[in-house]
Amino acid sequence: MIRTGIAGVAGRMGRMLVSAAADAPELEVSAAIEAADSSLVGADSGELAAIGANGVPVSGDLAASCGSFDVLIDFTIAEATARNLEICADAGKKMVIGTTGLSATQRERLDVLGQKMAVVIAPNFSVGVNATFKLVEIAAGIFGDDVDIEVLETHHRHKVDAPSGTAIRLGEAAADALDRELSDVAVYGREGMTGERDRQTIGFHSLRAGDVVGEHTVVFAGTGERLEITHRAHSRLNFAQGALRAATWIATRDRGVFDMQDVLGLR
């Protein structure tokens, strides 16, 4: 049995993780973490997830909880994740990170810590989305420089970053297949007299509306034809199930930084 801690347990994903873990026989939720100033510290995490009391109270102190888990699943914010990484590295714990928006400095620090701890980090833990990453890589390699590539994504009105981490990763999959640096060719939205489109560029467009869980489309548009690869998420359950799958996988690793492509054997 893999003892699993969940950081950000009071959030939408945190609650979904607690609920999904109840149906995962190889895992048990043994620690639940929230910000120290949260009014929910002390609450039963099972009751928060609407599955009934599970006897695991919400803690506001990750360091004090490290003895209770082997793998920490973290869907919080960049600053909290950076702190949690340091604590878990010092305690010899493993992590699954779904937080997006890490700065370049924070990501570099994660790579350093990965020399002594095992981490899975991914912009999206959906198995379907990770299959989409692979399909985009294959399609880009087939089309080469003969198409224009655009990435469109839609999320709920509460999402605070744009483009989504998943959209960026889709762009990276296409750029890598074409030997381009995404930072050199990415175009984020267009306005005004932009001039003729440069075929080397990869465009990104973000919509924020309603309660959309997540939708991503990569368009490969050539002369006389267009291919669109789309993934639509209907609930957060698939993200939670993927993260739990990653936790099971990382539990057998000693060190290194991995992503869902590694977990799913897509490399």
**If you count them, how many residues does the chain have?**
267
143 belongs to an annotated ligand binding site = no
Is residue 210 annotated as involved in ligand binding? no
8 in a labelled binding site: yes
Which one of 93, 94, 155, 216 is the catalytic residue?
A: 155
3: helix, coil or strand?
Answer: strand
- Known binding residue 25? Answer is no
To the question of whether residue 100 is assigned a binding role by annotation, the answer is yes
Encoded amino acid at 26, one letter: E
Q: How far apart are CA 223 and CA 146, in angstroms?
A: 8
125 labelled as ligand-binding?
Answer: yes
Q: Is 159 labeled as catalytic in the residue annotation?
A: yes
Catalytic residue (one of 93, 116, 134, 159) = 159
Q: Determine if residue 42 is labeled as part of a ligand binding site.
A: no
Flag whether 166 is marked binding: yes
Q: Is 11 annotated as a binding residue?
A: yes
Provide, for the chain, the percentages of residues in helix, strand and coil under a 3-state DSSP scheme, each rounded to the nearest 5.
Answer: 35, 25, 40
Return the structure tokens found at 68: 């209770």
Q: Is 224 exposed, middle or buried (0-12, 13-18, 19+ CB in 10 A)?
A: exposed
10 is in an annotated binding site: yes
Q: Is 205 a catalytic residue?
A: no
**Strand partners of residue 72:** 5, 95
Q: How far apart (Å, rounded) are the C-alpha atoms in residues 135 and 129?
A: 10
150 is in an annotated binding site: no
* Residue 203 labelled as part of a binding site: no
Residue 19 and residue 185: Cα distance in Å, rounded?
41
Distance CA 123, CA 144 (A): 25
- Cα–Cα distance for residue pair 177/2, rounded to 1 Å: 37
Which residues carry a binding-site annotation for (S)-2,3,4,5-tetrahydrodipicolinate?
A: 156, 165-166
Which residues carry a binding-site annotation?
A: 8-13, 34, 98-100, 122-125, 156, 165-166
Q: Which residues are catalytic?
A: 155, 159
Which residues carry a binding-site annotation for NAD(+)?
A: 8-13, 34, 98-100, 122-125
